[in-house]
Each structure stands twice: as structure tokens, then as C-alpha cells.
Amino acid sequence: MSVYKPFLTSDVIVTPFEVNKLFTFKGGNILTGSNIGIERYLGQNILEDLWTSGSNPTGQSYILNKKLVYDSIKQLYYTNFLNSPSGSQAATASFNLDGTITGPSSTTNYYNYLSSTLNINRSFPTESNAKIGVTSIPSNLFGEYIKPGSFNLTSPSGSIIDDAEGNLIFSSSFWTASFTHVGNIIYEHGIAVWNKKSFGLFDGYGYVTYGQSSPSQSYGIYGGAFDSFFENNITCSFESTSTIFESQYKCTARPNEFLFSLNPSIISGSKPCPDNITSTLYDFATGSYFTPYVTTIGLYNNNKELIAIGKLAQPLDMSDTTDTTILVNLDL
């Protein structure tokens, strides 16, 4: 009998499941390191100037234009929410027989990557020179998407966290602020957007150092919470999400299979035969009641090359009356 036994289709089950990993990076220079690449951009609705290459730069490592950052975020994530944070009304225009159109003709047929249909709040500033902040996390860090409820961006003036439904919440012990909605996060793109206008009184006249001895504690009496998230003394943490696949192999030995041991300890010696030398077994291994123990399972490819080994926690006695089944799980 061969020591190899092929699997049937029913013997192999592949199951996907998600795994998460926590990342924490402290310091602006660490965020923009070559092996991390977390960027922070300032977007601005600049109306009075024509855009030219190299103008209005933003970004720590990858320099972009503030106007282009603003327009890109607006188009991708807020197109359906410019009239209302909870979403614009659907188009109800009517085409009359005389060729005229009555009713609103605007459309909401844009895909803005909503994380949830509950508690939608996508407020976006559209006035002249309105500012937004953007944190861009590369996909090689967050995997398939950022785990909802794990994002945290902390500055000297407070923290921005997500509520697991795509909303960014600002909290600050200095300002005794809590649960202040300031923006949104797009989990599958690794993009967090916070709105300067949403900080309200927490932002004041800018980020200043009045009355403080250390620039890292630059609160002052004027606020500046929005700009503090562009400083170097910040911490960014989140959990990545990736799908791995677990393959389960059902190794079944029937009562008449694998009942001879390959362990050399059952050999008492050898004796010459006319053509070659044969091994002599101990008497206990030749009886009808003898069944070997299994300690190791080997998985082979079609070329009979060993590709995986599974060790049992303790030896398993093979049965000569019923099937013996061993499950082998591989996470890939």
C-alpha cells in the first residue's frame, strides 16, 4: 500500500477571515518617513488666483497644490452633501411638453464612499478660502481598510478619533471639549478629512504660543486646534485590516489503511535473502491486533514533494475498525 493518499474535493475547505494589526506612530518626522509615508495636506478653496504649477504648496513629503487637494476631496467624498450634511435631495425635475424643465435638476447619483447609512454627517465648507485638513495613510499600512473605531490623531490641543461610522470626533481636556464632529474618514482609502470651520471657538484666531514656554504646548488664549494637527508633536494610530485564508484538510484513514508502522524501532534486525537483505520485525508488530500510532502528518504536492508538516500534540492510535480523521489547518 502506498503511503500517499490524495485528497477529495470534499476533504479541503478554504475559509476567509479578517485579521487586524495596530500601528502607532509618534512625531511628524516619523509619519513622513520613507518606510511609513503618512501625509498631512492642507486643502483650501482658493478662488481669486489662477492655478500654476508649484503654487500654494502643501504636504510634508509629497508636495501638492492646496486648491487641487480641496477640489479632489470635494469631488470624491462630498458631492452629494454640498447642500446638506445629511445628503442632498434627489432630482425631481420634470420635462414638460413645451420643452421647459420644472423642479430641481441637480442629481445625487455620485458614489461618495459612505461607511454607514446611519448618522450621516458630511459637512463640507464651500465659502471662499475655506480650509480642510487631510491625513493620507498608504495602503501598504492599512491593508484593505482601516478598522472602524481604531483611528486616533492626537495633537497638543486634543485628539481626533472616529466613531466607527465614518465620522471624526474632536475631544480636548484643555478645552473641555468632547464629541465635537469635525470631519469624516474614508476607511477603504485611508483618508481622514477634518473641517477647519467645524472646530468653531476651539480654533480662534490661529495657532499661537502666547503665554506658553514650549512651542509643543502652543495653545495660547486664541485656540488654534485645527492647525495643531499639522505640527510635529502628534501621534497617529490605527488598526489595519487584511483577509487571510485558512485551508482545512481532512486527512482520513480507513480501517484498512496506514496500519503498518514506518518507525524503525519495530525492526529487530535483518537477515540475508537470496536477492537482498530484508528486515526482521519484532513479534509484537506482526500480530493481528497491532496498530501503529500517528505522530506526524505530511502534506505533499503532485510531485510527491513535502510542502507542510503537522505534528500532533500526542500520539494517536490508529483504529482497525473505524475511520481515523485528522484535521490540518493552514493559515496563508
Query: For 154-205, what is each residue's pLDDT tens digit?
Result: 998 899 999 999 999 999 887 677 789 999 999 999 999 999 999 877 775 5
Q: Which residue has the cell 494637527?
A: 229
- pLDDT at residue 156 in the model: 85
Give the type of residue at 134. V
Look over the chain and give the mean of its residue pLDDT values, rounded to a whole number.
84
What is the H or E stretch that residue 237 is in? strand 235-253
pLDDT digits (tens, 9 = 90+) for 37-82: 999 999 999 987 776 778 899 998 889 999 999 999 999 999 989 8
Torsion of CA 171, 177, 181, 185, to 10 degrees: -10
pLDDT digits (tens, 9 = 90+) for 271-303: 555 555 566 777 676 666 777 888 889 999 989
Which letter does DSSP use for residue 40 in this model?
A: E
- pLDDT at residue 57 in the model: 93
CA distance 148 to 162: 7
Domains of the chain: which residue ranges? 18-243, 254-331
Q: Which residue has the cell 486634543?
A: 158
Q: Is the pTM of this model over 0.85?
A: no
CA distance 115 to 112: 9
